[in-house]
Structure 1
Amino acid sequence: MALGSRLRMLAAKVTDDAAKIYGLYEVTLAPKWFPVFFVLSEADGKTITEIAKEIGHSQPSVSKIVREMAASGLIVENINSGDKRQNVISLSEKGKELIDKISFQYRDIDRAIDGIIAEATHNLWEALAEWEFLLEQQSLFSRVQEEKKRRESDEVILVDYQSKYQAAFKALNEAWISDYFEMEESDYKALDNPQEYILDNGGKILVALYQGEPVGVCALIKMNDPRYDYELAKMAVSPKVQGKGIGWLLGKAIVDKARKAGAKALYLESNTILKPAINLYHKLGFRKVTGYPSPYKRCNIQMELAINPPTAT
């Protein structure tokens, strides 16, 4: 708000001076008309759409300015237009007379601006262009959203599974499975007895704590398969904390656990209806594979991840 307010104050100050400058040179042109006038003075005969695109204004805004300029006798419409559906805008004779008259104003303004740039430590013109470019690449809203997610992610603690988290492990998984599908026998085996079914067989489980509460879980289930060491499974994040990057933190950490355990490849099963999950797996580096038998009716996509060995330090 402070940035926007200061920019508006600066714009108002410059706009006030612009009106006085036109009076100084006896140029009968409202400051807000100038972009349209300048475009037509450079290349006469343009449509509303073309002008709007060149000056970065909306078509309704340009149409309003054109009506005002036409009323003042500075422009004429539909001159030499072969297609009457196209509203071609051109400078009138009165408008063309302004081109020479305003040229002295241009020259003096250029020198005045150059003087300010020479006196200033920072070139505002270049800085504005740079800011416009950067905000075009990623909006301020998006940047703040990322910082919010990063700050909230810093409050997340990942811990190894303990028996006290069994209820949360089951509840978090049961919630999303029941929302989209039906619980199956394989689900109950893993969720009712994670110690026996996962950990005692060489698997691993991570729990994400946010403000002390278990809000996310993810498991590695040991596989008896020459292609894969572990299956990444039972990943779930509470809807209350989704959007804080907890799924990404869990995914990265569980893959790193597999890497440190010497795993060469991971496998997972999912369903394409779970678009955020599929996007997360792609982001982690998983790629689609086929041909592996699944115990789950809901599975319609299988993915694998080749793991690089840990980097020596």
Structure 2
Amino acid sequence: MDFYNNAGKMALGSRLRRLSEQITEDAGQVYQMYNVSLHPKWFPVFHALSQGQDKTITAIAEEIGHSHPSVSTIIREMVKQGIVTEKKDKQDGRKNVVCLSKKGKEVVSSIAPQYTDVTNAIEDALSQTRHDLWKAIEEWEFLLKQKSLLRRVQEQKKMRESRDVQIVDYNPAYQEAFKQLNEEWISKYFKMEAADHKALDNPQQNIIDPGGHILVALYNNEPVGVCALMKMDDPVYEYELVKMAVSPKAQGKNIGWLLGIAAIDKARSLGAKKLYLESNTILKPAINLYHKLGFQKVIGHTTPYERCNIQMELVIGI
């Protein structure tokens, strides 16, 4: 147990596997003690068929929560030992159905005492613990169904790495990064347009001097993301969120979200009531980010960009 205490919770899978192997080994000996010709890993399939209905492999897999290939392998092993048989479905000759053989049905008749003793043994063990393992497993299965362990680790990775991201104000040293990061994504999906060249070639003159702002995301002191607030001459919108770009090598670190939040906070500090943006629905991650930030689709504003097919706004003050 020292290994698991030293390794900590990151060894959860290994520890569960060890517990499972121990229980499976004991289960094999229990079957032998009751002269029941089953292998422990067959039990879910056997129990699903013990209700008396013929079932397809797909139906069994869905019922017990196993993969189709896993159930197919178990069925082949059980057929070889004479526990189940396969036959054509009477309703659909293209499908095979599985049912217990005569030998399998005899196991159903003889296994009841084993069921009783095993259930009582497990209940006795549970009564000696402070935590109900059965209920804990149910809780974990529910939680992991809502959000997998992989997804939870991905979120933790993103949170940890995002803490190393610093959002700073633009200065001329970041002009080349501002241009390159935007040209990279625009050229990948669309073509550079006149409005792009105007903003990117001279951001000081065309964004900052008219009253706008540019924010830069630094990761390990390297500029890996940018966005800008462009001052608008519009009765409804004071600022437009423009030129948001994140380097592909820095994606997955929550940088787009951090830039978006920083831009919204900057607009709010400037007294803006509404924030406007333009995009294209082919950029699904970007559109999802904007929705997550609270932007909603609007219609009817004129745009200088051919690629624009969606316009959005965010109400940030009243």
Q: TM-score, normalised by structure 1?
A: 0.88
* Equivalent residue, structure 1, for 2:5: none
Deviation of 1:245 (Å): 1.3
Alignment correspondent of 2:287 = 278
Q: Distance in 2 between matches of 1:153 and 1:140?
A: 20
Answer with 1 or 2: which has the greater Rg. 1
User: Counterpart of 2:211?
Assistant: 202
Q: What is the match of residue 245 of structure 2?
A: 236
Please give the per-residue CA displacement for 1:92-117, whole angstroms capped at 9, x wherever unaligned: 34333333321111111111101110
Amino acid in structure 2 at the alignment position of 1:168: A
How far did 1:189 drift? 3.0
- Change in 2 beyond 3 A, CA 1:225/1:105: same
Conserved 8 A contact 2:158-2:253:
yes
Give structure 2 stretches of 5+ with no counterpart: 1-9
Q: How does 1:263-302 map to 2 (within 5 A)?
A: 263-302=272-311
| Aligned partners of 2:217 and 2:225 also within 8 Å | yes
| % identical equivalent positions | 63
CA apart distance, 1:80:
9.3
- 1:104-253 to structure 2, matched below 5 A, reads 104-253=113-262
Query: Quick one: distance in 1 between partners of 2:273 and 2:250?
Result: 32
1:56 aligns with 2:69: no
In structure 2, the partner of 1:7 is: 16
Alpha-carbon offset, residue 7 of structure 1: 1.8
- Paired with 1:171 and 1:262, the residues of 2 have a C-alpha distance of 31
CA–CA distance in structure 2, aligned partners of residues 181 and 48 of structure 1: 48
Partner of 1:69: 78
Letter in 2 for 1:25: Y
Seen in structure 2, the aligned counterparts of structure 1 residues 144 and 60 have a Cα distance that, compared at 3 Å, is closer
Deviations 1:293-312 (A, max 9, x none): 22223323222222235xxx
Q: Structure 2 residue aligned with 1:22, among 22, 27, 31?
A: 31
Within 2, Cα distance between the matches of 1:205 and 1:241? 19
Question: How far did 1:161 drift?
Answer: 1.7
- The alignment's C-alpha RMSD in Å is 2.4
Q: Which amino acid aligns with 1:152?
A: E
User: What is the alpha-carbon distance in structure 1 between the residues aligned to residue 233 and residue 11 of structure 2?
Assistant: 60
Cα offset for 1:250?
0.5
CA contact (8 A) 1:222 1:230 kept: yes
User: In the aligned structure 2, how far is the partner of 1:32 from the partner of 1:299?
Assistant: 56
Check whether the contact 2:89–2:95 (CA below 8 A) recurs between aligned residues: no
Indicate if the aligned counterparts of 2:158 and 2:252 stay in contact, CA closer than 8 A.
yes
Question: Is the deviation greater in 223-232 or in 173-182?
Answer: 173-182
Retained in 2: the 8 A contact 1:159–1:207?
Answer: yes
Cα contact 1:166–1:194 (8 A) shared by 2 = yes
| Matched residue count | 309
Change (3 A) 1:300 1:40: closer
**Cα separation, partners in 2 of 1:204 and 1:98, compared to 1, 3 Å:** same
